[in-house]
Amino acid sequence: MKPHVAIATLGLGLMLSPLFTSLGRSAVPVSPKIGVIDLDNTLSTTPAGKRANDAFEKIRKTKQTELDKQQEDLKRAAADLEKQKSVLKPDAYAAKREELEKKFMELQGVLQKLEKDLAGERQKLMQSLLKQAQPLVDKLAKAEGVTVIVDRQSVVWADPAADLTAKLNADMK
């Protein structure tokens, strides 16, 4: 055999050998089993979820009360200004009205910040619940022979037999 043919054959063999050795084993099982969990259901029906929801509602109500007070103060100031409209000079009325509009815009900013803060709080509570549920989900996946578990919200359709929510909820305390 000529040396260049031998080297080419050896090179080809080295390039193809990883392909042949990985054919027998695959990172993904031949028929993966998928499970579905409804995290909203877990959040609303389990003791841990109810505690998280109660904590969120407490935060939301506190912030809502503050916002309601600011809105009432602004409404009262607007009503007072309307009552004073006939006795105020036009430029004084315009200045006070402009001040009220500025306060209204500030209140809109407070509202947007409140919504953002509440979304962040809800996200933290969900992450806390998921952290608590993670070992239970791992245990459930192994017990059921499941390769992947997805949240119900991200699934268009799933066979009800794939729903593991009740089993997870039974373990959540």
Angle, CA 40 vertex, CA 38 and CA 45 arms, to 5°: 100
pLDDT band at 170 (very low <50, low <70, confident <90, very high): very high
Tokens of 82: 């309307």
Helix (H, G, I), strand (E, B) or coil at 28: coil
Q: What is the pLDDT of residues 134-161, one digit of tens each?
A: 999 999 999 999 999 999 999 999 999 9
In one-letter notation, the amino acid at residue 77 is A
Asked if the model's pLDDT at residue 43 lies above 70, the reply is yes
Predicted TM-score (pTM) of the model is: 0.64
- The domain locations on the chain are 3-171
Average pLDDT of the residues in 36-56 = 90
- Dump pLDDT digits (tens) for 79-109: 999 999 889 899 999 999 999 999 999 999 9
